[in-house]
């Protein structure tokens, strides 16, 4: 029988941090078919998780093939109506998934539903909600300088707007993304050219450009995200981010 909801978590030397996310899925008030796409061959984490959470389906990769391609590995197996992609470092309450699906059932024009993302202390992680552009990227680099950079960042993340009801947005974060499975299949998943970073920006844009439905941010649907922010803390992460941004602009054109 087709399932209502499937989910995929990409593993890459994540250790025990994924256990909380899997427990949240296990405790959810809706059945979920769970896939673990394992980008860390030789790491025993997936074997432990298979024992701890019977029923999870492990898809081992021969090497680290990147976030987008690892998520795409589930496409041949999906028979669900909705598909959730989530990071191993997220947590949420048991009723969240059923509430998100109920909302999408009530609003068939929605292609992707994206939640409010909180830090562990309860403060909000103001993530992008608009299409990326050069000045928005600069705002992320120089936000601490204040002035126009801070204003641009607030505009990019809608931190300058009191959002207390669901609104259409142009970006859905890949850390927790609920999409209609048929649309994910139509798009053939993430663009595999993006190894890490901006694959969610590209997926969001393809949904809107092809008029497959709207992307809706729902502030009453909340998750907690630990968010390591490798792209701002390490040289390697920053270079990966830059390469992905360049690929995005080469594909879609540069927008100031």
Residue-range definition of the domain harbouring residue 57: 5-252
**CATH number of the domain where residue 212 is located:** 3.90.550.10
Structure tokens at 228: 């390591």
Least Cα distance to 241 among 132, 78, 153 occurs for: 132
Q: Quick one: 250 exposed, middle or buried, by C-beta within 10 A (0-12, 13-18, 19+)?
A: exposed
CA of 223: how far to CAs of 27, 109, 227, 254, in Å?
A: 15, 23, 12, 32
Per-residue pLDDT reduced to its tens digit, 112-171? 999 999 999 999 999 999 999 999 988 877 777 888 988 989 999 999 899 999 999 999
Mean of the per-residue pLDDT values of the chain: 93
Domain count, the chain: 1
pLDDT tens for residues 25-39?
999 999 999 999 999
pTM score, whole prediction: 0.94
- Predicted pLDDT of residue 184: 98
């Amino acid at each position: 029988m087709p399932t209502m909801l499937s989910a995929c978590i990409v593993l890459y030397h994540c250790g025990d941090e994924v256990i909380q996310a899997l427990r949240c899925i296990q405790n959810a008030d809706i059945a979920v078919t769970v896939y673990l796409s394992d980008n860390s061959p030789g790491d025993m984490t997936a074997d432990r998780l298979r024992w701890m959470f019977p029923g999870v389906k492990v898809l081992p990769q021969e090497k680290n093939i990147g976030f987008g391609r690892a998520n795409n590995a589930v496409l041949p197996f999906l028979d669900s109506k909705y598909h959730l992609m989530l990071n191993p470092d997220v947590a949420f309450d048991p009723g969240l998934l059923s509430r998100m699906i109920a909302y999408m059932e009530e609003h068939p024009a929605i292609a992707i539903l994206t939640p409010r993302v909180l830090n562990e202390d309860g403060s909000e992680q103001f993530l992008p909600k608009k299409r990326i552009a050069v000045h928005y990227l600069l705002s992320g680099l120089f936000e601490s300088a204040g002035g126009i950079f801070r204003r641009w960042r607030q505009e990019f993340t809608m931190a300058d707007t009191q959002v207390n009801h669901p609104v259409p947005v142009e970006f859905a974060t890949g850390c927790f993304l609920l999409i209609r499975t048929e649309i994910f299949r139509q798009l053939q998943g993430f663009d595999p050219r993006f190894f890490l970073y901006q694959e969610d920006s590209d997926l969001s844009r393809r949904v809107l450009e092809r008029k497959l439905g709207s992307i809706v941010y729902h502030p009453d649907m909340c998750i907690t995200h630990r968010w390591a922010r490798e792209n701002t803390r390490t040289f390697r992460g920053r270079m990966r981010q830059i390469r992905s941004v360049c690929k995005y602009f080469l594909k879609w054109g540069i927008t100031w």
